A and B are shown apart, each in its own frame.
Chain A
Amino acid sequence: MSDTAEILREHLGKALWDTCTMVGIATVVGVVFGTALAVVLYLTQARLFTPNRLVNTVVGFVVNAIRSLPFLILLVVLIPLIQLCIGDPYTPAGGAIALSIAAIPFFARIAESAFADVDPGLLEAAVSTGAPLRQIIAGAVFPQALPSFIRGIVLTVISLLGYSAMVGTIGAGGIGDLAIQYGYNRYETGVLIAIVVLLVLLVQLIQWAGDRLALRFTH
């Protein structure tokens, strides 16, 4: 038992930090680029804006293609690419890149559906004011989609937290890594249990905070 405490004291802080940076970076990248893709998907589909079947199909295909790979396989496929970019893929930075690439199409679909749920009548009203596209998206579509958008971010963060454990197994660090290395490979059940509890609490906390935030923007 003292071993468990020792291991946790020594490694948990760093592992937690690595997980947070990986998930944090991937979430930011995923939300930014995913939203951009979602806007493209949305605009090329909506009748009132700039319907463009070709662009919609191509972007949709790429998004689906990445999403169709199980994360572990995507990770393995990406290793050479990451190696090319930053040298050593088995680091938190490498993990962050892999997670980001998974996060972008994941969030793109979530954001697209948040936009698509906005009442088309509202769009007609916004278009009727003579507002330019940018104002319609930022001033009408986005505020309406914001609560779903926030829930989507929560979903993304929680999924990425799960994926980050897989990144850990190939040696990129984080609490997943800790759990596998000590809890599984070295039979330190205490470490495993501690990390399971930690993960459960973390996910609950993120969900709770996200729900509250989403509610704040719902009127």
Chain B
Amino acid sequence: MAAIITLDDVSVTFHEAGHTIEAVKHASLEVEQGEIFGIVGFSGAGKSTLVRMINLLERPTSGRVLIDGRDITGLRGGPLRDLRKSIGFVFQGFNLIGNATVGKNIEFALRAGGVPKARRRGRTQELLELVGLSGKMDSYPSSLSGGQKQRVSIARALANNPRILLCDEATSALDLETTEGILALLKRINTELGVTIVFITHQLEVAQRIFDRVAVMENGVIIEQGKTFDVFAEPHHETTQALVERFLGVAVPERLVPELPVGRLVELRYKGDHAFDPLISAVSSRHGVAINVLHGNVEYFGTQPIGTLVVLVAAIREGQRGAQDVEDALDELRGTVFGFKELTDAAVEQALDSPYGGGPRTAAQTKKTVQQEVLV
């Protein structure tokens, strides 16, 4: 399929108070017609700057932006305005005109698109129905909820039948339930109207739900891109791994840590339709070890699952033979699952300590103390 958007080696440099900030460094990507392309990364990674280049709200310092294969980097004036009419933009902060009604906000875009005055109200009504807000035409934005405001801004972005919709953290200011609604709406716009969507977010829940393909950014560089499932099932770059880790997370419940019996703590990851329970019980009975499931989680990316299990493998037999049983069991697990990671003390501590792991340091310290006591 042909690329509708191409960023070709683009960089953006800001000069601010004597400092030079490279917001985007030599980024290249292609978005295909009709897909939902996501850009994820921690805040400050340069995602917003990158997406703003697509409609030239931000001009690249170097590199080229192509829409439908046409170089638009140098567009100005009328031709640039025409291009922008075919690219909708949805913002995190909604950015509605507060002192104008919902209807007037949408009519603003229609007027920009050259829709004659007589037809604007009808079209506004149509757009409001599309986003599920008919009846709100004459309300002011201040009387709407966050989700409703975002629906208005989606309606505004769709006013001139754009082929591309850019979403900059469009759900980040919304609660979980509202986010679901907005994502469902965007998905529908994508499939029913065939609008290509570029969506940037730091929320992996969003990525998981609607992205076909994804690019991961860090410090202005695209560090990884590909099909969403592949990128998250097999993250190569450590930032992607951190993002995925935060999302799929080890998260051994803090309360449990001090109570853990002696054993080897292992995180297993599997993807696709791997049946897991039979493996656990088979390994357990084959090697005569106790396998305790401490934590389990399955996340679906589209229709494909990625599962995570944290298990504690403990010997049943005493002494050397028991230890050998555990080694054998771990070997079999290692050979069968897709991701195998033994959680050493340090790993647990790090998981609990890191901003993504959640728990306070004391929990890990507690565990250490308990283990020391056991050893004594």
Chain A residues close to B by CB (< 8 Å): 48, 119, 121-122, 124-132, 135, 139-140, 143-144, 146-147, 217-219
Contacts and interface: CB of A to CB of B under 8 A. Distances in A.
A15 to B, nearest CB: 39
B95 A135 contact: no
A200 B309 CA distance: 77
A122 B95 contact: yes
Given A126-B108, A130-B82, 10 more contacts: A121-B93, A127-B57, A128-B55, A128-B57, A128-B89, A129-B84, A131-B111, A139-B97, A139-B100, A143-B99
B159 A129 contact: yes
B91 A124 contact: yes
A139 B109 CA distance: 10
A50 to B, nearest CB: 11
B64 interface: no
Interface in B252-304: none
Contacts of A218: 99
B81 A48 contact: no
A131 B142 contact: no
Contact of A144 (B88, B91, B97): B97
A144 B97 CA distance: 7
Given A122-B97, A125-B89, A144-B97, A130 B57 contact: no
Nearest to A219: B140
B197 to A, nearest CB: 15
A120 to B, nearest CB: 9
Nearest to A133: B81
A124 B99 contact: no
Given A124-B89, A129-B109, A219 B99 contact: yes
Contacts of B57: 48, 124, 127-128
Interface of B: 52, 55, 57, 81-85, 87-89, 91, 93, 95-100, 108-109, 111-113, 140-142, 153, 156-157, 159-160
Contacts of A219: 98-100, 140-142
A44 B109 CA distance: 24
Nearest to A120: B95
B247 to A, nearest CB: 28
Given A130-B82, A131-B81, A147 B156 contact: no
Contact of B85 (A129, A139, A146): A129
B87 to A, nearest CB: 7
Contact of A135 (B88, B112, B141): B112
A219 to B, nearest CB: 4
Contacts of B160: 129-130
A144 B98 CA distance: 7
Contact of B108 (A119, A124, A140): A140
Contacts of A124: 52, 57, 89, 91, 95
29 contacts: A48-B57, A119-B93, A121-B91, A122-B95, A124-B57, A125-B89, A127-B84, A128-B57, A128-B89, A128-B157, A129-B84, A129-B108, A129-B159, A130-B81, A130-B113, A131-B81, A131-B112, A135-B108, A135-B111, A139-B97, A139-B100, A140-B100, A144-B99, A146-B99, A217-B99, A219-B98, A219-B99, A219-B100, A219-B140
Given A125-B153, A146-B99, A130 B83 contact: yes
A136 B258 CA distance: 61
Contacts of B84: 127-130
A198 B52 CA distance: 57
B108 A131 contact: yes
A140 B159 CA distance: 16
Contacts of B140: 219
B87 A128 contact: yes
Nearest to A125: B95
Nearest to A146: B99
Contacts of A121: 91, 93, 95
B73 to A, nearest CB: 17
B112 A125 contact: no
A146 B55 CA distance: 29
Contacts of B91: 121, 124-125
B147 to A, nearest CB: 18
Given A132-B112, A135-B112, A140 B97 contact: yes
B362 to A, nearest CB: 41
A124 B88 CA distance: 12
A218 B141 CA distance: 11
Contacts of A128: 55, 57, 84, 87-89, 157
Given A128-B55, A128-B87, A147 B108 contact: no
A93 B82 CA distance: 49
A119 B141 CA distance: 15
A139 B108 contact: yes
Contacts of A144: 97-99
Greatest chain B CB density within 10 A among A48, A139, A147 is at A139
A202 B208 CA distance: 64
B99 to A, nearest CB: 4
A146 B98 CA distance: 11
B104 to A, nearest CB: 8
Greatest chain B CB density within 10 A among A124, A130, A132, A140 is at A130
